[in-house]
Chains A and B, each alone.
Chain A
């Protein structure tokens, strides 16, 4: 749809800005000058009695009705034209999925790779598919003049193209609660080659497993990208904790291989909380080898995620990221790369989890106060918390961390709102990784 060569969204919108501001400037100047002139020229000191009592002039009135009409039509037209450029996606746009939740972003690429910053190739248009997990948010990149709300239950999109490498602010522009102003991340525009290297650095989700899910119709009810459909999403499913209702009792389980198998063959036994008991049983309907394939895939989905951001791809991006940080200087947006790379994979895995689960939307790593207390110097310190209305002091050890994440509403850090959601999806292992990373933030 877009004429060649590609115009960027910035150019398309700025054209309308120039025209509207241009006309407006002239009109404003005109009105102001005339007003001041009249006040001076026809001041009562000069004319104690008005020169005329004229109160109508058809010709004049018609003119100043028609001229503004024409002017606003011009403005409308350019505004609409620019808007169309924002809506018509170039054919070769790279699809990326953005999921917004209180109060962080998660970007998923076509090969299943996820990230909490939006990496895009320079010079190539990207189409960002927008969904919301809880309330309204809005995807806003001022540099590219694009903005679109993410609405629960609705699919929206934006497209843009970055023509210069760099790091651009990405804001949440629709008010979404206490962490709204912290729901910031960046668009990292990197040269195309670097982008593909980064994207490929992690093995893409095996297509075989996906095909099996497709074949048996699982994907009609379960998504791969974290959005709930009829059933829970498959994203990050293996090994995570889940609250289920079995015989009317609610209990917490770990989604190990056995659990997953049982869920497929006997779906009525444990119902994941918040979902209807509507999944049919697949006992006898799935060949043994397909079931194995699916289970491998589902448990593997997690394994692969954890490998995410392991050393090779970090290396690939190291220079860009360092540069970006130097430019943006955002407190706590990302931990120092050196530190993260330090004590090995476990730590970087923890950091990665913190980014992906949105912890950094509410907790800083540099000691500054956000929605929640800073992570800096947290582990091992003495905390004053309010429990059952009583102020008590506890020490922040491994057990405390588990309590703080599993049941955040029980002990509330003094001086903070009880705003943190529970994270049943984090396994004990995940929390250990988080702990390892938190230990480094002294």
Chain B
């Protein structure tokens, strides 16, 4: 790419200039990097809270009967764990944090298309988060519905579901604004020479995701709004005694929430697609196939929602159609996996932490995805639906997939943003510990699910004790790994060694600016002369 600014690490870049003093310089800043960091740290914080709750769940399930909390508390805890992880961590995770930080620089823009809207969307996020937290301590106490809010239970329970519904509505709005911003940015603000097929795959992934955010999220908005109306004014659109149909709630819920799982994973795939070429020193194999599969997943992902409802009493025809389409969506994912592997072929592979996380994404996502196929198949889903097998599946794809991609992005890009490097050895050790804990934890869940242990069970029959204990022990190992990982990266970002220029040897635009990047990213408008993986032209090879 164009050599316009010699990468330097001396000045403090965008950290140095602020419109307002102190904290206001952050929470009123419209700079995409500052907003990105606001998002990042909030999301990071909520991940820690959510993970801590996950730890509590595991402790309770260490033995049958009451271990550390009562049934009502347990139900509130897993609901909160799910809501935090989904709406506060994983959906905004990569797009809002890393998308904001990286996307504009990657395509040679000075900011996103609507900087004020971007700031507003962060405010919405934080408002939603505060409301979600408030719902724990007000009204009838913490919601106990599970993150799926199924009626009629959610319409009847005396806990504070109404406030949680408002929170979800607002968070959805925030997610929409981020998506809207990215689509417009990609269409309008690409630098000169940045043709569509020179966009980094991370940008492509975010672009596909953004469309899903725009077109699917409103549906969850209306769904929770209807739930709110059902609770507050008694419009019984889902209430069978008023002629409503509870199954319709599930349709509306999953019309959003299935596409949402691709909102969760597509950006992660984008991160992996950007990291693997850099650490293999090879252009992304099948660039077009990967970007087309991103778009295909975004589109086809909107057609399969009812696979969450195979046992609910939907028609057999619907079961057939949705099962069939579910398998179709697996194909673009498969294409990506194969392309990533092919990228490594005949490369020059360096196992630095970002690459380690990217590779564990491939492994864990494949395991999670393949168990997704078990769920997509009608007969087998009947057995494992709403068991720990499903819990295992989604932790593999969400934590093992997107979570790992999030960590990969942290280790890959944050040094560039902060201008400092973490300790790679510690990161590698932490990664190893995490992987061991992860596999023990979630494989046990899948096995106990196959044996028939239903999910959202506060208590279980004694046959399941052994595997549950194994899982709990796994969660401790995982916890050790995570704490080490986080401590290391925080230490590195604030107190680590100054970063050398373009440390990973990437050909993409975001590594050509100085680090930390200056406020408007580029001193003069960049002109792009080669693709993001063209290591030869970039002078890296």
List the interface of chain A (C-beta within 8 A of B).
12-13, 16-17, 20-21, 24, 27-28, 31-32, 34-35, 38-39, 42-44, 47-57, 60-61, 64-65, 68-69, 72-73, 75-76, 78-87, 134-136, 138, 140, 142-143, 145-149, 151-154, 156, 169, 171-182, 184, 328-331, 368-371, 417, 419
Contact = CB atoms under 8 A, between A and B. Distances in A.
B215 interface: no
Given A53-B536, A145-B382, A152-B246, A42 B346 contact: yes
Contact of A55 (B286, B328, B362): B286
Contact of B153 (A54, A145, A177): A177
A76 B349 contact: no
Given A60-B342, A136-B153, A42 B461 contact: no
Contact of A73 (B156, B289, B327, B344): B327
A147 B386 contact: yes
Given A39-B344, A53-B536, A330-B461, A80 B323 contact: yes
B363 interface: yes
B454 A140 contact: yes
Nearest to A417: B72
B328 A176 contact: no
A181 B452 contact: no
Contacts, number: 276
Contacts of A179: 71
Contact of B280 (A42, A68, A84, A181): A42
B348 A147 contact: no
Nearest to B289: A61
A147 B281 contact: no
A55 B285 contact: yes
B380 A20 contact: yes
Interface string B138-182: 000000111000101100110000000000000000000000000
Interface in B305-325: 310-313, 316, 319-320, 323-324
Nearest to B356: A39
B335 A65 contact: yes
Contact of A148 (B311, B351, B376): B311
Contacts of B65: 331, 368-369
Contacts of A328: 461
Chain A binding site: helix, strand, loop or mixed by DSSP? mixed
B359 interface: yes
Contact of A28 (B313, B327, B366): B366
Interface in B204-221: none
A372 B239 CA distance: 28
Interface in B244-270: 245-247
B331 interface: yes
B195 interface: no
Interface in B336-394: 337-339, 341-351, 359, 362-363, 366-367, 370-371, 373-374, 376-383, 385-387
A17 B377 CA distance: 9
B520 interface: no
B152 A72 contact: no
Contacts of B72: 178, 417, 419
B283 interface: yes
A89 B473 CA distance: 44
B398 to A, nearest CB: 18
A24 B373 contact: yes
B458 A181 contact: yes
Given A21-B374, A42-B344, A151 B462 contact: no
Nearest to A228: B241
Given A43-B351, A135-B156, A140-B452, 14 more contacts: A49-B348, A50-B280, A53-B541, A56-B286, A75-B377, A79-B379, A138-B311, A151-B246, A154-B240, A169-B452, A171-B454, A177-B75, A180-B456, A331-B65
B451 interface: yes
Interface in B514-535: 533, 535
